[in-house]
Chains A and B, each alone.
Chain A
Amino acid sequence: MINKILNIELKSKILFATLFLIAGVIISSMFLYRYAIDIERPFPETKQNNNVSQNNDYKPIVYFGVVSRFSANIIYNGYQPLMDYLTENTPYRFELKLSNSYRETVKQLVNNEVSVAFLGSFIYLQSREKYKIFPILKPLNENGKPYFHSVLITKNNSLINSLSDLKNKKLALPSKQSFSGNWLPLYKMSTLNFNIEDLDSVHHFAHHHTVIHQILRNNFDVGVVKDRVAREYKNNGIRILDYSMPIPGSPIVISANTEKEIAEAIIKTLLNVNIKKEKNRELIKNWDKEFSYGFVRASESDYDKIEEILVEVGKANE
């Protein structure tokens, strides 16, 4: 009898414990279910550290023109950081103003749509007399010299090894207003007694990068671009056949109407960029590669020699 009672008591306890366990599992499962399906995730807190940019918003805007040597997005990616640097370090807010051609930028400068502009050396020489524009700065190359080169390029696997192999070949060139667009046909060929008619065809494209892409796509056999652009593709199927003589770097130009304070602010700020300093190296990391080595003051006379050369071939002042 006692055993029976004990058995019943034991069974009741087991039953109670089992029910308690099941109830616990169900209740905990309900809580876990609610927690598990809670997928709500808020936006992260936006840090309000906009004092600097808010101050910049109130600065007077200075428009900075750029010749269309590259496509718009390449220009924004390479030139906008430089604009930001100038905005941070001058009393002005600099904004880029793009154009569809080299000449349009010159017109923007002359028409006071922009106060300052990145021009090419060739278009500057073409325009300086006519529009009274003045170079204030020019970029340095990797050797610390204020020059660049135009280079003759072809594909790595091309059979072309010298200018003599260009006969009946297709030539791609950048803008007619750029030095690279004129160096080979106007200067180099004339020195080698090679006529442009000896080529199969010649075509000018809007941007330097387009020239390279056309060669890589086998649409053209050779092309001419700035050395800074050719270096980007050095390990990507492009090899350099020939270099131009050193050309004074593409100048930053102001017009006669540009405020002196703006020009001085730009000159002072960009000359302060010392690439030997770690801080500045980090700063210019995102700048266009043409500006990676800093700037040096530019004067009109810097470009006289190249102008003379061009005049010699009778084309410079066309």
Chain B
Amino acid sequence: MSSIKIRSLKLKSKIILFIGVLFTFLMIGVSFFMLVQWRNLMIESNIERAEDITKAFSINILDALILSESNKTNIEDQLEYLVRDFSKKVNDIKFIAVVDNDNKIMAHSDLSAYSTNKGSLDISSNKTKKIVSAICEHPKYEWIIATVLPLQIAGKRWGVLQIGIDAKPLLNEIKSLFFVLTISTILFTIIILSIAYLSINKITSSFSELTNLLDNIDFELDELKEIPINNDEIGFLIRNVNALQKRLVNSREQLLNAQKQIYHAEKLASIGRLASGVAHEINNPLNGIKSCVYAINKNPENIGQNREYFGLISEGLNHIEMVVQKLLGFAHQQSQIVANVDISEAISKVVKLLNFQLNRKMTNLITNIDSELPTIHADANLIQEVIMNLLLNSIDAIDNNGTIKIDMGKKDDKNIFLNIEDDGEGIKKENLQIIFDPFYTSKEEGQGTGLGLSVSLGIIELHGGSIVVDSTPNKKTIFKIVLPIANKNKIRT
């Protein structure tokens, strides 16, 4: 579940990261493009204003210069007056200079400039034949928009008019614009990314729900957990998962049915293996009964003797009835009851059924059972079937006078152990890995189904336990079972 969630998280993170990076840089690009366009417009607008101011003022200057051609007035005085008057009227003018064709000052708004006797701008700009402008950082006037206009009518040229207008407000405006756009971009990006995050969250929530559905599929349930199914790709996926779940439930039901059939077949096989012992258990009292009947028939008037024989017959019949009941009880057992099971009692029942087989081989049965052993939460019949299988295998494996040892106790706080050990021929090392495989058998054909150990493994695992085997050929073989104490987990049947 977690890995699926992480994959979903990775997917979401990747989408958000991709959109975040893409959108952030896109916003930066767009904002910067806007800023540059805006800045250029502001610069153009300011330059245009500076040129308009220069052109407007140049009319006065030109008139004065033309007038001086006919009136012979002192043009410098006239220009000086015009320049100083105009520079007072327009606040952001840093300087005005009228420069003649020899780059000498004819008039200047800044009287200190007369000491240099040249204009305030690079003299190369004085050669211009049309109005030109620049924005530069002047050593004296700092940031200015400098405009140079030739004072010229057709081929008649008197010089140039230089005007420097303060460009600091423009610079500050551009700086403010940058910060406003930056903050706007950040806010806008955050808003858009938040919207994107919520949208992506909504989209990926369907994935999460699907992940949870897959994680929590309960094969015991006939009805599937309902989740909202949209009419999109995810909805299509959920519908297919639902169909898959149905198929899985059906398959599991079929598997369980097959397993039940196998258990039943294996049980019948175990009964077959019990048949000789059962026959002996019945034959012995039958022979006694037969002898008693013969003695009664021979001397029916001997009431005292007959009473004793009737008692023996009754005892024999009770024994037979008990044997048959045990056999029927084992054969008809249904694996449906889950309860607290005293496993020592289960062992005792199985040992009684195998009494004849054990005695026939004069088996030395050693049981070592902890009397304080806690119960386990299990199906008693299935556990008996496992013990039956393992003990029958041990009986088959040992020779006459062989030893079978049953050890049982508490392994730790959560588990008990059950070891069944015999000193029979043992299992070859190469077969240890396959003895739990279905249909594996070391017996001759017709002697075994090959399902006993496989079924036993399935039953133990069904109860949340484990079973392992350890064998030294011709010395000993031990099956070690571990089962949880009073396992509260539901046992699926």
Which chain A residues have a beta carbon within 8 Å of chain B's beta carbons? 2-3, 6-7, 10, 13-14, 17, 21, 25, 28-29, 32-33, 35-37, 39-44, 46, 48, 50, 53, 56, 68, 72-73, 76-77, 80-81, 83-84, 87, 95-100, 286
In the complex, what residues of B have CB within 8 A of residue A6's CB?
A: 3, 6
User: With A25-B24, A39-B171, A46-B127 in contact, is A72–B70 under 8 Å at CB?
Assistant: yes
In the assembled complex, which residues on chain A have CB atoms less than 8 Å from the CB atom of B167?
39
Are B70 and A98 touching (Cβ within 8 A)? yes
Q: Cβ of B20: which chain A residues have Cβ within 8 Å of it?
A: 21
A96 engages B156 (CB within 8 Å): yes
Report the nearest A residue to B177, measured CB to CB: A36
A254–B17 CA distance with the chains assembled, in angstroms: 89
Task: Report 6 cross-chain contacts, Cβ distance below 8 Å, ordered by A residue.
Answer: A3-B3, A29-B182, A32-B178, A36-B36, A43-B133, A46-B125
> Are the CB atoms of A36 and B178 closer together than 8 Å?
yes
Contact B153 A80 (CB under 8 A): yes
Closest beta carbon of chain B to A103's beta carbon, Å: 14
Which of chain A's residues have a CB closer than 8 A to the CB of B135? 39-41
Assess whether B174 is in contact with A84, with CB atoms less than 8 Å apart. Answer: no
Number of B interface residues in the complex (CB < 8 A)? 50
A100 touches B155 (CB 8 A): no
The main secondary structure of chain A at its interface with chain B is helix
Name which residue of chain B comes closest to A84, CB basis: B155
CA distance A14 to B6 in the complex (A): 13
Residues of chain A with a CB closer than 8 A to B155's CB: 53, 56, 80-81, 83-84, 87
Are the C-beta atoms of B156 and A41 separated by less than 8 Å?
no
Does residue B226 face the partner (Cβ distance < 8 Å to A)? no
Q: Which of A21, A33, A43, A81 contacts B122 (CB 8 A)?
A: A43
Asked whether B412 is an interface residue with its Cβ less than 8 Å from the other chain, the reply is no
Q: Is the CB of A42 within 8 A of B71?
A: no
Contact check: which of A14, A32, A56, A77 meets B28 at CB < 8 Å?
A: A32
Those of B1-58 within 8 Å (CB) of chain A: 2-3, 6, 9-10, 13, 17, 20-21, 24, 28, 32, 35-36, 39, 43, 47
Per-residue A-contact encoding for B116-133, CB less than 8 Å = 1, 0 else: 000000101101110011
Q: Is B67 an interface residue (CB 8 A)?
A: yes
B69 at interface by CB-CB < 8 Å: yes
Residues of B near A44 (CB, < 8 A) are: 132
Inter-chain CA distance A139–B182, complex, in Å, is 68
B191 beta carbon closer than 8 Å to chain A: no
Give the Cβ gap from A283 to chain B, nearest Cβ, in Å. 11
- Output the nearest chain A residue to B101 by Cβ-Cβ distance: A57
B315 within 8 A of A: no
Separation of A286 and B127 alpha carbons in the complex (Å): 23
